[in-house]
Amino acid sequence: MSTKHSEMKIDWKPGTMIYPLPAVMISCGSEPSEYNIITASWVGTICTNPPMCYISIRPERHSYPILKKNMEFVINLTTEDLAFATDWCGVNSGKKFNKFEEMKLTPGKATIISAPTIEEAPLCIECRVREVMALGSHDMFIADVVNVKADDKYLDEETGAFDMEKAGLLAYVHGRYYGLGEFIGKFGWSVKKKK
Which pLDDT does position 1 carry in this prediction?
A: 53
Tell me the residue ranges of DSSP E strands in the chain: 21-22, 24-28, 36-40, 43-47, 52-57, 72-77, 107-108, 117-118, 123-134, 139-150, 170-173, 176-179
Residue-level pLDDT at 57: 97
Exposure of 159 in the CB half-sphere (CA atoms within 13 A): 5
Average pLDDT, the chain: 93
CA dihedral 96, 102, 105, 106 (to 10 degrees): 70
Residue 123 has pLDDT above 90, yes or no: yes
CB 27 within 8 A of CB 117: yes
**Confidence (pLDDT) at 193:** 79
Q: How far apart are CA 168 and CA 110, in angstroms?
A: 23
Nearest to 144 by CA among 156, 131, 154: 131
Q: Where are the domains positioned within the chain? A: 21-179
Percent of the chain whose predicted confidence (pLDDT) is above 90: 76
**What contacts 90, CB < 8 A, 6 or more positions away?**
38, 39, 40
Q: Which residues contact 135 (CB under 8 A, 6 or more apart)?
A: 56
For residues 59-76, give the mean pLDDT: 97
Please state which of the ranges 35-39, 56-60, 137-141, 161-165 shows the lowest mean pLDDT. 161-165
d(CA 164, CA 155): 9
DSSP secondary structure string, 148-176? EEE-GGGB-TTT--B-HHHHTBEEEETTE
Distance, in Å, from the CA atom of 187 to the CA atom of 181, rounded to the nearest integer, reads 17
* pLDDT of 2: 54
User: How does pLDDT run across 162-182, given as a tens digit for each residue?
Assistant: 888 889 999 999 999 999 888
CATH, domain range 21-179: 2.30.110.10
Predicted confidence band at 17 (pLDDT cuts at 50, 70, 90)? confident
